[in-house]
Structure 1
Amino acid sequence: QLPALTYKSGILLLEFASACSLNALRWAAAAEHNYFTTNRFWLLFTDEPTHISLLDDEDIFLPPDGEVRVMLWQPGMQFFTLVDVYKVAADKPLRRTLVGGRELRDAEDMLQALGKFGSAISYRQNLEGITFKTGLVIAFPDLFTNIEDLSLRHIDTISKVNNRLTLELANKLNLRFNTHQVDNYGWHKPNGSFDGLMGRFQRYELDFAQMAIFMRLDRIAIVDFVAETYRIRAGIMFRQPPLSAVANIFAMPFASDVWIAILLLMIFTICIFIVELVYSPHLHEMDILDCVVFVWGAMCQQGFYANLLNRSARVIIFTTFVSTLFLYTSFSANIVALLQSPSEAIQTLSDLTQSPLEVGVQDTQYNKIYFNESTDPVTNHLYHKKIAPKGENIFMRPAIGMKKMRTGLFAYQVELQAGYQIISNTFSEPEKCGLKELEPFQLPMIAVPTRKNFPYKELFRRQLRWQREVGLMNREELKWFPQKPKCEGGMGGFVSIGITECRYALGIFGFGLLLSAFSFILELIVNYVWNLAKKIHRIKKQRKESNTADGYRGNFVH
């Protein structure tokens, strides 16, 4: 009796040469069943060596993934022989390998022979050039040039990097591809079917994909995923907006206590000037409001129109201009630095939602699906506020989206590897600084899919994991996935001043225009009312004088 194994199911078939047993083997080997897998150990019993040739039947496909042993009992002797059998393909001849010696006497001998034999798949790595039907997604056929084109590695990166792994797989296992190109990974449709690559798997038109796709629950019913390869990161990339876009930079050069001190200085200077005007022995061509205008003009480095004769007033003017000169110099130097500094205002998706940045999305199908499927309330808020209202116009090619991000207040949802490549090619060194990325959702791992009950699944899985262990996957990742550009040039460089930076100055100017217009209209009204009152008073006075004159004439007549 063999010991039980938790990871395998044992199947014992006595007299497998009988018609019933052969039918059972044909049923188990059918493509829709494929019971010959690594987690099932088949032990076929016979006492006739010629019965093994019955397994050459094309309907009995014993794939390389299978664990099938034939126990050949020698009649009249107290030992048996164990034979490992498999086929490279259904139309290929049966391969036989002796397990252990020719004389196995009990279960202990059998276990020792199986342990020494090891994994049967290790001996089955030559598939003799058989051809598999494979699928390859080229999502941007209008931009695609060649599957090996490194100059456009940000175009269909997933297909290119994973194709290298499958080519290495083909070289290792000696197999060939009959590649079918599609332009869509395949997504679930309302009628239950799939389009694109997944649709071909659903119709059993492909054996496996020459690339990797996202592992999703709705795809597990259609395909089996052999081995995961890489993690694709997609995030919203943006440049931190300048301080002038999110804050009033004119209030930032000085701390609050400095502004309070400046205000107190202005009030104190105005009061001293007023005292000087009131008690000065000299006559001045200015009043109290002129004192306010002088102090305000001194703060703005403006001259003064009045000519003061006494020395005390001139000392006040001199000390005021000198003190404001230092303040003005410090203020201007800080303004220049602040204009070239990015802000740290956007750190989370909530900050991005409330920011003035517009949002664009890479025109890939999975972006539309994962935004709709997201259950995160912050991501949903961002989607319904800045993405959904703009419809299809928000989806754009990476070259367009990254250009808008470089030149304006714009955030772009893109595969980070593609974004890094465009940044390296088109951004200047100062523009690479202040870059930020936020992931609205976590993309699943990508894995190589095969059709259901694929008889070479375990063989492929081991080879792909071997590529990971020896560093082949890492080599291809470094080759095809651009790394994040580093900020090496600092934030220096020429900064153009736009309307955004001048909006507070323009606001003050507009307020001054409105105030002057209001004052002008008020002056006209006051002048009109004053003239009207004077006219009415003059008319009343004339009437009174006229009435008085008429009274005198009447008395004179009488």
Structure 2
Amino acid sequence: MEYFKLLVYFQSLQTSLQKACKVSLSISIGLENIIMCRVTKMKFVTFLMITIWARVVLTKDANLVDFLKTYVDNERKPTMVVLTGLCWKKDRVRNLVADLSKLGIRTSKPPSIDIQSKYHVVMHNTLFLNDLHCPETAEVIETAILHNLFRYPLRWLLLKNMSENSSVILEDIPAFADSDLVLAEITEELILLTELHKPNENGALISKDKGYYNGTMVDVRPHRELFKRRRDVMGRPLTMANVIQDSNNTRYHLPREDALELQYDVIPKICWMTAKLAFQMLNATPRYTFSYRWGYKVNGQWSGMINDLHTSKADLGTNCVVSDVERLSVVTYTDMLAPFRVRFVFRQPPLPSVANIFYLPFTGRVWAAVAVCAMVYTAAIYWASKWEFNLEKRSASQFDGTVGDAMLLTMSALSQQGCFIEPKRAPGRIMLFVLFTALMALYAAYSANIVVLLQAPSNSITSLAQLAASKVTLAANDVDYNHFVFSLYKDPVRVMIHKRIDPETGNGQFYSLEDGVDMIRQGFFAFHSIVEPVYRRIEETFLETEKCDLTEVDFLSSFDPFVPVKKDSPYLELLRVVFKQIRESGIQSALNRRYQVPKPRCSNKVAAFSSVGIVDLRPVLIMMIYGIISSCLILIMEMLVFKM
């Protein structure tokens, strides 16, 4: 516009100059006047051409700076403009950088656009600016393709004159669903902005109007969110790698979603149903593949599901536990589709096996009070028996006034067994009556507590260290992941557990799900597995009273399981959004409630009863053995004394 205004102004001045020359020639015709008129005319033309060129260049630069500022403001994101492959003159670039800096927009003109070495920290801020008119454009785009710089969250703004044909260069750009590539076509009146992307690798470049700039930025996009503009992938096939480890029948039931044999591979089934719904929301073609392991690095090569993602055989996989940090180099975790926990599941050992239940009914202070009272009564009975012995004649059932008789009577009262000797006088009998009555109430409370404690489970194992130090047998489900996860940790407690489950010599403690749950039921057995199928089996086989002492202990100490997606996948952001929409709608929660089994609830804890075993009476048996040994020693000592 400025150029045309100056051109019209120049033509009007030229017409005025011609008229002035004609007037001067008509007044005095001479060679000198003719030459002077022509020289003046040439100087004037040169001056006007220089002025027009300067005005056009300065106006063009000013418009470009205003456009960039308005464009960045319209993005509503922190932005650092990276000038790539510009063939502009240094003065023009310097002025552009200075003007953008005054507006608070950072700029950079690196010798290379290797984002991995310099800009990885601020990738979300980076806006690459390139002029397709420059000869270095092809090399810049080739380098960007090599380093995968057209992916999210990097942004590109390509400048182009309307007369230039750049379709060949643009067709080769891998601008997929998450790319932010904008073509700015500069015309005489305005700058047209067009978004470019491909729905898939083999698809044609799709262009959609973003807006235009004519002094002000006009954004014509129906939605500012990238997801809403790119959610239609136009039937592009998306493949999910499903990990099956329980039964080969899952290959038949999973794609049909028939809800059969839920005791096998329920996690992959839920993940597939949720992922298929997400594919339909993106207008993608659902496809699936199967793998028999989650994926671990063996001899430097990935295996299983992770290898399928790494080699682009699949786009996403069954959600897995984030236990191996090396996976982060090849996959990115998105959202949780089917929650599950990997734990040691076991029944708490009976209380008599881990504690002396004959000491537990009373607190330490009560036991101390009983001991003090016993000593006081022993002393009182001793003085009463001594006084009675001096008054009465000696008989077989009468006290002899010794400390031994007093202690024997007190011990008889404590054990509620009675004694063949008894006081004859009223004071002694009253003391004996009070002693037996008080200890009878104490004995009743003690016996009641013992009965409860014999049936009570312990709460002795609540941590991994306590489990490792216990006498509980440790074992694991005989599936792929249990042969790898135990070796990932190097702390002493986990190393001890690893050696107990999978020793270097001998057979490892690996069992099928059915055998493992049966051994959990028998007690003193901890089974490491995904807990949901274990609980399903427990609901089918355990009695109600056997569910009350179930306990979990976490070995992995990891985060919740998340869905792995191929690293730098162009569909990563789209999948993240649709997964969150599915979760927020309640569909994911409904699927989990329908197909998963929670931890069994204890409904008949009080009604539980089991016979008392030898283990329960261990303290009593030990006390009896000590008593027998003590009595034998006393007998030997008495025999030696009387013989001497």
Q: TM-score range by the shorter chain?
A: 0.7 to 0.9
Equivalent residue in structure 1 for 2:392, among 280, 284, 290: 280
* Amino acid in structure 2 at the alignment position of 1:250: F
Q: Note the alpha carbon deviations across 1:186-218, whole angstroms, 9 max, x for none.
A: 1122x311121223334x241312422344431
User: What residue is the counterpart of 1:146 in the other structure?
Assistant: 253
Structure 1 CA distance, aligned partners of 2:210 and 2:424?
120
Structure 1 CA distance, aligned partners of 2:226 and 2:495?
54
SS at match of 1:35: coil
Moved more, 33-42 or 130-139: 33-42
* Amino acid in structure 2 at the alignment position of 1:337: V
Structure 1 CA distance, aligned partners of 2:354 and 2:395?
50
Q: Do the aligned partners of 1:340 and 1:492 also contact (CA within 8 Å) in 2?
A: no
Q: Note the alpha carbon deviations across 1:386-426, whole angstroms, 9 max, x for none.
A: 55659753343444444433432334444344454444444
Relative distance call for 1:433 and 1:262 in structure 2 (3 A) is farther
Q: Note the alpha carbon deviations across 1:121-171, whole angstroms, 9 max, x for none.
A: 423323332323432111223685733476765643442332232111111
Q: CA deviation at 1:327?
A: 3.9
Q: Does 1:467 align with 2:582?
A: yes
SS at match of 1:171: helix
* Amino acid in structure 2 at the alignment position of 1:415: I
Q: Note the alpha carbon deviations across 1:364-391, whole angstroms, 9 max, x for none.
A: 55556554444655x4475378556597
Structure 1 CA distance, aligned partners of 2:376 and 2:357?
22
User: What residue is the counterpart of 2:127 in the other structure?
Assistant: 9
User: What residue is the counterpart of 1:105 in the other structure?
Assistant: 214
User: What residue is the counterpart of 2:196 in the other structure?
Assistant: 85
* Amino acid in structure 2 at the alignment position of 1:206: K
User: What residue is the counterpart of 1:130 in the other structure?
Assistant: 236
Q: Note the alpha carbon deviations across 1:252-310, whole angstroms, 9 max, x for none.
A: 3342112442455456547755765675325327887787666645544446668x896
Q: Does 1:193 align with 2:311?
A: no
Q: Does 1:261 align with 2:373?
A: yes
Greater length-normalized contact order (CA 8 Å, ≥ 6 residues apart): 1
Q: Do the aligned partners of 1:141 and 1:183 also contact (CA within 8 Å) in 2?
A: no
Q: CA deviation at 1:442?
A: 2.0
Structure 2 CA distance, aligned partners of 1:414 and 1:463?
30
Q: Do the aligned partners of 1:187 and 1:198 also contact (CA within 8 Å) in 2?
A: yes
SS at match of 2:349: coil
User: What residue is the counterpart of 1:66 in the other structure?
Assistant: 179
SS at match of 1:500: coil
Q: Does 1:496 align with 2:607?
A: no
Q: Do the aligned partners of 2:343 and 2:552 also contact (CA within 8 Å) in 1?
A: yes
User: What residue is the counterpart of 1:545 in the other structure?
Assistant: none
Structure 2 CA distance, aligned partners of 1:342 and 1:118?
60
User: What residue is the counterpart of 2:572 in the other structure?
Assistant: 457
Q: Note the alpha carbon deviations across 1:37-83, whole angstroms, 9 max, x for none.
A: 4422242524249x4764795x5543222223333445xx4234333
SS at match of 1:71: strand
Structure 2 CA distance, aligned partners of 1:398 and 1:272?
70
Q: Do the aligned partners of 1:166 and 1:211 also contact (CA within 8 Å) in 2?
A: no
Structure 1 CA distance, aligned partners of 2:627 and 2:151?
88
SS at match of 2:358: helix
Q: Note the alpha carbon deviations across 1:20-44, whole angstroms, 9 max, x for none.
A: 85686577557x7363544222425
SS at match of 1:213: coil
Q: CA deviation at 1:184?
A: 0.7
User: What residue is the counterpart of 1:180 in the other structure?
Assistant: 289
Equivalent residue in structure 1 for 2:320, among 213, 226, 229: 213
Relative distance call for 1:240 and 1:114 in structure 2 (3 A) is same
For residues 406-425 of structure 1, the aligned pairs below 5 Å read 406-425=521-540
Moved more, 477-486 or 176-185: 477-486
User: What residue is the counterpart of 2:330 in the other structure?
Assistant: 222
Q: CA deviation at 1:501?
A: 0.9
Q: Do the aligned partners of 2:270 and 2:337 also contact (CA within 8 Å) in 1?
A: no
User: What residue is the counterpart of 1:339 in the other structure?
Assistant: 454
Equivalent residue in structure 2 for 1:404, among 487, 502, 519: 519
SS at match of 2:563: strand
Structure 2 CA distance, aligned partners of 1:398 and 1:279?
79
Equivalent residue in structure 2 for 1:118, among 202, 218, 224: 224
Equivalent residue in structure 1 for 2:270, among 140, 144, 161: 161
Q: How many residues align?
A: 513
Q: Do the aligned partners of 2:150 and 2:180 also contact (CA within 8 Å) in 1?
A: no
Structure 2 CA distance, aligned partners of 1:322 and 1:98?
98
SS at match of 1:501: coil
* Amino acid in structure 2 at the alignment position of 1:464: F
Structure 1 CA distance, aligned partners of 2:624 and 2:557?
48
Q: Do the aligned partners of 1:29 and 1:36 also contact (CA within 8 Å) in 2?
A: no
Relative distance call for 1:302 and 1:82 in structure 2 (3 A) is closer
Relative distance call for 1:422 and 1:263 in structure 2 (3 A) is farther
Relative distance call for 1:188 and 1:267 in structure 2 (3 A) is farther
Gaps of 5+ in 2: 1-64, 73-78, 81-124
Q: CA deviation at 1:502?
A: 1.0
SS at match of 1:10: strand
Structure 2 CA distance, aligned partners of 1:220 and 1:328?
64
Structure 2 CA distance, aligned partners of 1:466 and 1:13?
39
Relative distance call for 1:264 and 1:310 in structure 2 (3 A) is closer
Structure 1 CA distance, aligned partners of 2:185 and 2:588?
44
Q: Do the aligned partners of 1:47 and 1:73 also contact (CA within 8 Å) in 2?
A: yes
Q: Does 1:246 align with 2:354?
A: yes
Q: Do the aligned partners of 1:55 and 1:94 also contact (CA within 8 Å) in 2?
A: no
Structure 2 CA distance, aligned partners of 1:9 and 1:392?
59
For residues 367-382 of structure 1, the aligned pairs below 5 Å read 369-374=484-489, 379-380=493-494
Structure 1 CA distance, aligned partners of 2:600 and 2:370?
40
* Amino acid in structure 2 at the alignment position of 1:62: A
* Amino acid in structure 2 at the alignment position of 1:96: S
Structure 2 CA distance, aligned partners of 1:291 and 1:143?
78
* Amino acid in structure 2 at the alignment position of 1:43: L
What TM-score results when the alignment is normalised by the length of structure 1?
0.75
* Amino acid in structure 2 at the alignment position of 1:137: V
* Amino acid in structure 1 at the alignment position of 2:357: I
SS at match of 1:437: strand
* Amino acid in structure 2 at the alignment position of 1:261: C
Relative distance call for 1:373 and 1:381 in structure 2 (3 A) is closer
Q: Do the aligned partners of 1:229 and 1:445 also contact (CA within 8 Å) in 2?
A: no
Q: Do the aligned partners of 2:130 and 2:157 also contact (CA within 8 Å) in 1?
A: yes
SS at match of 1:281: coil
Gaps of 5+ in 1: 534-558
